[in-house]
Amino acid sequence: MSVLKRYLPLIANLIAAVVFGFAFMFMKSGMNVVGNDAVKFLAFRFTTGFIVLTLLLATGLLKVNFKGKPVHYLFLIGMLNPLTSQVLETTAVAYAPTSQIAVLFSVNPVIIVLFSILINREKPTKRQAFFMLVIIGGLLMTHLVDGQMEGSTSTGVILTLSAVTVISLYRVLIRRASGTFTAFEMIYISTGMGAVGFTSMTLTTHAVRGQLGSFFDGLWNVDFVASILYMGILSCVVAFLCMAYATANLPITVSTSLTKVASVITILVGIFILNEAFRVIDIVGTTIVLLGVIGMSLSYNVHVSNRYVQYKKDMPVLSSESGDDSTEEEQDI
């Protein structure tokens, strides 16, 4: 097995993290054009993503096979993300600076691990737990030291934390579903649900308000088009596929810790591109996060992870059986 293939899940996770790191900047830009109408923005975003995924399917580059599989489980996943989480997350950018959203997303690994223990019975090792706490500590430092960030609102905090909770549950269910569905199958269904759901909602809203004629107005704005292309293709297609693949093939603590690179990038984008408040504590916090990510990456054992993935493939997706065997194996990671 080549080095590239062995560590492909790590590479995929880092690609997703980088794309997501710049996502809030494009999201904020696109939302400004449509008057912070989150549902309308999401309709264009997920429709674009679904068109690209369908083209990949039509050309035969990627395939799906849902025969005999519990597709209803994917509809449950799609209800969580994108139909619920993306509304919360996208709306939050109108009420909080991007750097604060990134910091609040730092609690994501803790919630994911808690859900994973309850649903998948997958526990972190002591070493993984230590580096996870280092990452969280570095991100929380930027929020708790020297008071609240400039531009912060209670609404923004509530929306962001709600989004984090929903996304954490989604990540755990995606990992469990990976034994039955491919990454493309999972993302194709969820993106399709987003395209149909958000487009139906925003068209209904525009019709009720008598504003159907203005539905496509944003497409004449360069910033909006750039935002939709980035969020629809790079985020919905490339990043989501990479994230689903990495989540399925990495220990849950490793996959969640590496995504914190996205939080670091988002904070830096907020500071240097969006001109959000800059503090020395931000530098200290991001440095600690990077050290934690490096430590977490060094805790990764590809052979143990592969055995865990094979164990999951042999277990029904909705099985309530214990994952005790995988827990014992992961103690060596």
* Per-residue three-class SS string for the chain: CCHHHHCHHHHHHHHHHHHHHHHHHHHHHHHHHCCCCHHHHHHHHHHHHHHHHHHHHHCCCCCCCCCCCCHHHHHHHHHHHHHHHHHHHHHHCCCCCHHHHHHHHHHHHHHHHHHHHHHCCCCCCHHHHHHHHHHHHHHHHHHHCCCCCCCCCHHHHHHHHHHHHHHHHHHHHHHHHCCCCCHHHHHHHHHHHHHHHHHHHHHHHHHHHCCHHHCCHHHHCHHHHHHHHHHHHHHHHHHHHHHHHHHHHCCHHHHHHHCHHHHHHHHHHHHHCCCCCCCHHHHHHHHHHHHHHHHHHHCCCHHHHHHHHHHHHCCCCCCCCCCHHHHHHHCCC
**Lowest mean pLDDT segment, chosen from 138-152, 239-253, 283-297:** 138-152
Q: Of 176, 169, 155, 13, which is closest to residue 79 (Cα–Cα)?
A: 169
Q: Does residue 321 surpass a pLDDT of 90?
A: no
Q: Does residue 306 surpass a pLDDT of 80?
A: no
Give 324 or 34, the one with higher predicted confidence.
34
Q: Provide mean pLDDT across the span 132-158.
A: 75
- The predicted-structure confidence for 268-280, as pLDDT tens digits, reads as follows 888 888 888 767 7
Q: In whole angstroms, what is the distance from residue 110 CA to residue 95 CA?
A: 24
- With a CB cutoff of 8 Å and minimum separation 6, the contacts of 141 are 281, 284, 285, 288
pLDDT band at 182 (very low <50, low <70, confident <90, very high): very high
Q: What is the pLDDT of residue 147?
A: 57
- Which amino acid is located at 133 in the chain? L
Residues spanned by the domain of 52: 3-330
Q: Does residue 315 surpass a pLDDT of 80?
A: no
Q: Of 25, 19, 17, 23, which is closest to residue 262 (Cα–Cα)?
A: 17
35: phi > 0 → left, psi -120 to 50 → alpha, else beta; which?
left
Q: In whole angstroms, what is the distance from residue 249 CA to residue 150 CA?
A: 39
- The predicted-structure confidence for 43-58, as pLDDT tens digits, reads as follows 999 999 999 999 999 9
pLDDT band at 130 (very low <50, low <70, confident <90, very high): confident
Q: What is the pLDDT of residue 201?
A: 96
- The predicted-structure confidence for 65-92, as pLDDT tens digits, reads as follows 999 999 999 999 999 999 999 999 999 9
What pTM value is reported for the model? 0.80
Residues comprising the chain, all counted: 333
* Average pLDDT of every residue of the chain: 82
- The predicted-structure confidence for 184-200, as pLDDT tens digits, reads as follows 999 999 999 999 999 99
Count how many domains the chain has.
Answer: 1
pLDDT-above-90 percentage for the chain: 44
Q: Provide mean pLDDT across the span 9-24.
A: 91
Contact 129, 330 (CB under 8 A): no
